[in-house]
C-alpha cells in the first residue's frame, strides 16, 4: 500500500462531484426504508425484498462499478496515471492501493447504508440487517476488484460493467440456474442467508462455494490488474 496513492485517489473520488454518485443510491435506499417505515407496514418480508432487489441486486453492483472503475479508469483515460506509474513503486502495489480505496468506499457506502436501511425497517429481526450488510461488504469488495480490473483492461469499463451487471446478473442469472453460481450478487446473498434466520430468504449457492469463489475472484482480479498495470502502454496520438 502506498499512502500518497491512496490520498490522491480518495481526493479524486470524494473531493469532487463524484461523491454524489456514490451517495445517491445509498441515500435512495435509506430513503425508501424510511418511507416504508413511515407509511406503516414494514415487515420482515418487505425488508428482505428491498435488500435483495435494491441493496444487493441494484445498488451494490452499481457502487462497485462507480468505485472500482472510478479509482483508476479516468486516470488512465486522461493520462494522469503516468504521474503515479513513472515512480519507483511497484505497479501491483499501486493496483492494490487503488483497490483498497475502492473497497473501502463500497464498504462504507454500500454495507453501512444496507445495515441502516434494514435496521430502520425491522431492527435486528432474524439477523436480516447483519446478514445483508455483511453480504454487501463481501460482495462489494469482490465487485470493486472485478470492476477495477475491467477499468484497467478496457477503456469501455463502464459499458462492460453495466452489461455484466444487467445482462449477466440480472437476466441470465435470473433464468439460467447454473449462471447463478457465477454471480457476485448470489454469493453476497448466500452470506446474508447464512447469517440471517429469516424464512423469506433463500439462496441457490452454498456458502462453501460462495466464499472460496469470492476470494479467488477478488485475488485473481487484483493480481491480473497489477500485472496489466506493469505493461500499461501509452499509444500517444500518433
Partner 1 sequence: MTMTTTQAPTRHSVVELTQVSRWYGNVVAVNDVTMTIGPGVTGLLGPNGAGKSTLLHMMAGFLAPSGGTATLDGRRIWRNHDVYRLIGLVPEKEGVYGFLTGWQFVLSSARLHGLPSPADAAARALELVEMTAAQDRRIETYSKGMRQRVKVAAALVHDPQVLLLDEPFNGMDPRQRLHLMDLVRQLGEAGRTILFSSHILEEVERVAQQIEVLVAGRHAASGDFREIRRRMSDRPHMFRVRSSDDRRLAAALIADASSSAVSLTDQGVEVQAVDFSRFTSLLPRIARDLGIHLWQVSPTDEDLESVFSYLISRSSA
Q: Which residues bind partner 1 (CB under 8 A)?
A: 2-5, 7-8, 11-12, 15-16, 78-80, 82-91, 230-238
Q: Is 40 exposed, middle or buried (0-12, 13-18, 19+ CB in 10 A)?
A: exposed
Which residue number, 41 or 231, has a Cβ lying nearer to partner 1?
Answer: 231
CB of residue 69 to partner 1, shortest distance in Å? 17
Nearest CA to 192 out of 91, 101, 118 is that of 118
Which residue number, 40 or 235, has a Cβ lying nearer to partner 1?
Answer: 235
Which residue number, 17 or 178, has a Cβ lying nearer to partner 1?
Answer: 17
Nearest CA to 140 out of 187, 90, 175, 173 is that of 187
CB of residue 230 to partner 1, shortest distance in Å? 5
Which residue number, 13 or 47, has a Cβ lying nearer to partner 1?
Answer: 13
CB of residue 70 to partner 1, shortest distance in Å? 14
Looking at the chain, list the stretches that DSSP marks H as alpha helix, in order from N- to C-terminal side: 3-14, 18-38, 44-49, 60-70, 73-78, 81-85, 91-106, 113-122, 128-153, 157-163, 173-175, 177-180, 184-195, 207-230
Which residue number, 178 or 237, has a Cβ lying nearer to partner 1?
Answer: 237
CB of residue 4 to partner 1, shortest distance in Å? 5
Which residue number, 16 or 123, has a Cβ lying nearer to partner 1?
Answer: 16
CB of residue 85 to partner 1, shortest distance in Å? 8
Distances (CA, A) of 171 to 134, 178, 192, 238: 25, 13, 21, 41
Q: Are 106 and 23 in contact (CB under 8 A)?
A: no
One DSSP character per residue, 63-114 reads HHHHHHHHTTHHHHHHSTHHHHHTSSS-HHHHHHHHHHHHHHHHIIIIIIHH
CB of residue 15 to partner 1, shortest distance in Å? 5
Provide the 8-state DSSP code for 206. Answer: -
Amino acid at each position: 500500500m502506498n499512502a500518497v496513492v491512496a490520498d490522491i485517489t480518495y481526493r479524486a473520488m470524494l473531493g469532487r462531484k463524484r461523491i454524489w454518485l456514490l451517495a445517491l443510491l445509498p441515500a435512495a435506499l435509506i430513503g425508501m426504508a424510511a418511507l416504508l417505515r413511515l407509511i406503516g407496514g414494514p415487515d420482515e418480508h418487505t425488508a428482505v425484498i428491498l435488500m435483495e432487489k435494491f441493496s444487493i441486486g441494484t445498488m451494490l453492483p452499481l457502487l462497485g462499478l462507480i468505485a472500482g472503475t472510478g479509482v483508476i479508469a479516468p486516470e488512465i483515460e486522461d493520462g494522469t496515471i503516468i504521474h503515479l506509474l513513472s515512480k519507483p513503486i511497484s505497479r501491483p502495489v499501486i493496483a492494490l492501493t487503488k483497490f483498497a480505496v475502492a473497497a473501502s468506499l463500497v464498504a462504507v457506502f454500500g454495507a453501512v447504508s444496507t445495515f441502516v436501511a434494514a435496521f430502520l425497517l425491522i431492527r435486528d429481526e432474524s439477523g436480516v440487517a447483519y446478514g445483508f450488510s455483511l453480504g454487501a461488504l463481501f460482495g462489494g469488495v469482490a465487485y470493486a476488484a472485478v470492476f477495477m480490473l475491467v477499468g484497467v483492461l478496457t477503456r469501455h469499463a463502464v459499458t462492460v460493467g453495466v452489461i455484466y451487471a444487467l445482462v449477466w446478473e440480472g437476466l441470465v442469472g435470473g433464468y439460467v440456474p447454473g449462471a447463478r453460481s457465477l454471480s457476485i450478487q448470489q454469493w453476497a446473498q448466500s452470506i446474508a442467508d447464512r447469517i440471517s434466520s429469516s424464512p423469506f430468504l433463500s439462496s441457490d449457492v452454498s456458502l462453501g462455494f460462495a466464499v472460496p469463489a469470492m476470494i479467488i475472484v477478488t485475488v485473481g482480479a487484483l493480481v491480473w490488474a497489477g500485472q496489466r498495470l506493469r505493461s500499461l502502454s501509452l499509444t500517444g496520438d500518433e
